[in-house]
């Protein structure tokens, strides 16, 4: 997902029309009065098991009381507002442990190439058809950016089990650049026009940290680009970004999050321009929920020395830390493993293990050293266990130099993490933020293509981490997946793949634990456990209304839960 920060420029025309925030309402028109929520399952998330209260009192954006309805009525006094939950469920606002807020709206503008259930594409022919349909309906984008763009193809779900190629995309256009981005964000396919524009001709060398795939038996690029190789054609369009377009994308991203109950969201691996856009929106009071940005440590080092980090939000925005990326994606077969992939990508030997984003351990050590020296919270993308080894080693070295007291470093994804590595992470205070949505979206693919059954059944080892007394969080990595809190809960609890296979039954956890991972544990990850994560008197009135209680229905039915209302500091920012 880390490469998609460069893609945002392509999706910004017309996004401002997607906003739903204008409909926000405050149920309490008198800020001096109390608002009381009652007559539902009010799940506080305090403690290690489910605890409920009869009523919540909200005043001035905070929870003033949580307890019995009788006591709440006494405290509320005159002129209070009553909100009848009508037997629905109230939980703390969901906290985005990792995602890319300004990119979450891109599916609304790019051609939707996602497979079912989120999109219509199941074959290369479907990719071409969807792109042609998008071309027909999006002339404004094409006129401004001179590009035809799609997002979300996944060869794991295409019937060919192969990506499209430049030859396929030439059927869309030979005169305009055509780019389709893999659902993981770590690969892209381009047509011959793009190959020509960027100089990817026969015999060209692979760029550091990337691979240009070739036609079988030749040195001629076939249009499939991995990691850094995909950045070069995208970057050519970066200069076309303008403020209006950037703002439109950011607002569309917010809208996507609000519909899923998130009251704290993340801009992971941000560029300076992205941070500046959020700052501009904050200055206009146009960010309705809290947004924490993590600029890219490699490319934004100088910028970070200028802006620094902030503990508190200003108009709902702060720079919270920095992001480092050490490998690619497991599903795209670019993550860096210690053992070979079960089925290597075309043209690779059986010994293929993926590759690092930064080959030099010394370079990684220096980057982690900088984060520790400046007291910047560090969140680091590691999908493969080799990348995890690199990160753990760098943290251990930096901790010896600068101390490691309550830094709350985070390993993002930790897909192929080994159990022994969890022990090392626990000792170093590294929080794993798992991506259990993979068990549904790519579980079968990991079992049969990337990792093999033994390793696949251990991906995102939540129960093992829990048994080791480790706190963990869960995330969606939007736009790799939709920013769906409900799919996070469903997959963390069930671990059922598309085919119905259980991807590691011994790693399933309870619905309550799954909720902890996107409420109070996620608040802890952000150093915000004193203000968020539970429905506790004195904390912010960040809340979500669900149509059903995930603790009281069959685990398989969790996926059907509806978000009815998102409430930030007592104000309704989304209502279904």
Q: Residue 490, SS3?
A: helix
DSSP 450: I
pLDDT of residue 4: 43
Chain centroid to Cα 479, Å, comes to 7
Tokens linked to 20: 């739903």
How far CA 269 is from CA of 218, 366, 470, 536, in Å, comes to 36, 18, 25, 32
DSSP line for 37-98: EEEEEEE---SSS--EEEEEEEETTEEEEEE-HHHHHHHH-TTPEEEE-TT-EEEEPEE-SS
43 backbone dihedrals φ, ψ, rounded to 5°: -95, 110
Peptide bond before residue 479 is cis, with ω within 30 degrees of 0: yes
Residue bearing tokens 């993002």: 412
Reported as half-sphere exposure (CB side, CA atoms, 13 A), residue 237 has a value of 26
Residue with tokens 């060398």: 205
Residue 6 C-alpha from the chain's centroid: 16
Residues 6 or more apart in contact with residue 243 via CB below 8 angstroms: 277, 280
CB within 8 Å of 12: residues ≥ 6 apart: 109, 241, 242, 244, 245, 246, 248, 249
Query: Which bin fits 378, alpha (ψ -120 to 50), beta or left (φ > 0)?
Result: beta
User: Distance between CA atoms of 478 and 251, rounded to whole angstroms?
Assistant: 14
Each of the 576 residues of the chain gets a pLDDT tens digit; together they read: 444 433 343 333 333 333 444 334 444 445 579 999 999 999 999 999 999 999 999 999 999 999 999 999 999 998 999 999 999 999 999 999 999 998 776 666 789 999 988 899 999 999 999 999 999 999 988 888 888 989 899 999 999 999 999 999 999 999 999 999 988 888 899 999 999 999 999 999 999 889 999 999 999 999 999 988 987 776 665 556 577 877 888 898 899 999 999 999 999 989 998 999 999 999 999 999 999 999 999 999 999 999 999 999 999 999 999 999 999 999 999 999 999 999 999 889 999 999 999 999 999 999 999 999 999 999 999 999 999 999 999 999 999 999 999 999 999 999 999 999 999 999 999 999 999 999 999 999 999 999 999 999 999 999 999 999 999 999 999 989 889 999 999 999 999 999 999 999 999 999 999 999 999 999 999 999 999 999 999 999 999 999 999 999 999 999 999 999 999 999 999 999
Q: DSSP assignment, residue 484?
A: -
What's the confidence (pLDDT) of residue 417? 98
H helical segments located in 188-266: 192-198, 228-235, 243-258
Output DSSP code: residue 25. Answer: B
Distance from C-alpha of 124 to C-alpha of 277, rounded to nearest angstrom: 36
SS3 for 433? strand
Number of other residues whose CB lies within 10 A of the CB of residue 55: 24
pLDDT in the model for residue 105: 66
Beta bridge partners of residue 38, listed in sequence order: 55, 84
pLDDT of residue 31: 58
User: What distance in Å separates the CA atoms of residue 574 and residue 556, rounded to the nearest whole number?
Assistant: 26
CA distance 570 to 208: 49
Cα 221 to Cα 199: distance, rounded to the nearest angstrom: 10
Residues 6+ positions from 357 with CB-CB distance below 8 Å:
2, 209, 227, 228, 325, 326, 327, 328, 336, 381, 387
Instruction: Find out if CATH 3.40.50.2020 is the number for domain 2-15+106-240.
Output: no
The whole-number pLDDT of residue 13 equals 35
């Amino acid at each position: 997902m880390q490469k998609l920060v460069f893609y945002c420029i392509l999706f910004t025309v017309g996004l401002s029309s997607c906003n739903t925030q204008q409909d926000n309402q405050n149920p309490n028109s008198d800020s001096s009065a109390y608002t009381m929520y009652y007559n539902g399952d009010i799940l506080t998330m305090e403690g290690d098991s489910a605890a409920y209260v009869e009523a919540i009192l909200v005043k001035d954006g905070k929870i003033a009381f949580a307890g019995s309805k009788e006591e709440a009525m006494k405290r509320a006094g005159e002129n209070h507002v009553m909100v009848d939950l009508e037997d629905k469920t109230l939980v703390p606002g969901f906290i985005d442990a990792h995602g890319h807020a300004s990119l979450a709206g891109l599916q609304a503008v790019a051609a939707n190439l996602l497979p079912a259930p989120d999109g219509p594409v199941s074959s290369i022919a479907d990719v071409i058809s969807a792109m042609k349909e998008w071309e027909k309906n999006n002339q404004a984008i094409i006129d401004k950016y001179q590009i035809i763009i799609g997002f979300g193809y996944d060869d794991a779900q295409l019937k060919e089990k192969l990506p499209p190629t430049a030859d396929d995309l030439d059927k869309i256009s030979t005169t305009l650049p055509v780019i389709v981005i893999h659902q993981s964000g770590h690969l892209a396919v381009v047509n011959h026009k793009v190959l020509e524009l960027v100089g990817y001709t026969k015999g060209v060398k692979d760029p550091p940290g990337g691979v240009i795939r070739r036609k079988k038996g030749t040195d001629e690029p076939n249009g499939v680009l991995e990691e850094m190789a995909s950045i070069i054609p995208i970057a050519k369009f970066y200069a076309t970004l303008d403020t209006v377009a950037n703002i439109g994308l950011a607002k569309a991203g917010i809208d996507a999050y609000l519909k899923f109950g998130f009251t704290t969201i993340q801009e992971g691996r941000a560029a300076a321009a992205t941070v500046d856009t959020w700052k501009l929106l904050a200055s206009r009071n146009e960010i309705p929920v809290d947004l924490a940005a993590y600029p890219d440590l490699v490319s934004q080092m100088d910028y970070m020395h200028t802006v620094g980090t902030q503990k508190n939000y200003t108009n709902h925005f702060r720079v919270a830390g920095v992001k480092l990326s050490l490998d690619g994606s497991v599903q795209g077969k670019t993550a860096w493993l210690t053992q070979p992939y079960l089925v290597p990508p075309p043209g690779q030997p059986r010994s293929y293990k993926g590759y690092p984003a930064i080959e030099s351990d010394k370079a990684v050590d220096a980057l982690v050293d900088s984060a520790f020296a400046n007291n910047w919270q560090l969140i680091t993308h590691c999908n493969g266990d080799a990348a995890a080894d690199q990160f753990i080693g760098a943290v251990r070295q930096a901790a010896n130099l600068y101390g490691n007291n309550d830094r709350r470093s985070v390993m993002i994804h930790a897909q192929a993490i080994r159990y022994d590595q969890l022990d090392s992470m626990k000792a170093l205070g590294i929080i794993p933020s798992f991506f259990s949505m993979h068990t549904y979206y790519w579980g079968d693919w990991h079992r049969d293509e990337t990792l093999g059954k033994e390793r696949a059944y251990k991906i995102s080892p939540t129960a093992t981490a829990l048994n080791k007394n480790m706190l963990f969080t869960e995330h969606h990595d939007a736009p790799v997946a939709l920013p769906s809190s409900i799919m996070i809960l469903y997959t963390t609890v069930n671990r059922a793949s598309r085919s119905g296979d259980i991807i590691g039954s011994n790693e399933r956890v309870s619905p309550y634990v799954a909720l902890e991972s996107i409420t109070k544990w996620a608040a802890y990850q952000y150093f915000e456990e004193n203000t968020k994560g539970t429905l506790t008197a004195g904390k912010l009135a960040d809340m979500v209304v669900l149509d059903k209680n995930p603790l009281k229905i069959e685990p398989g039915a969790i996926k059907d839960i509806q978000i009815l209302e998102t409430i930030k500091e007592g104000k309704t920012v989304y209502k279904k």
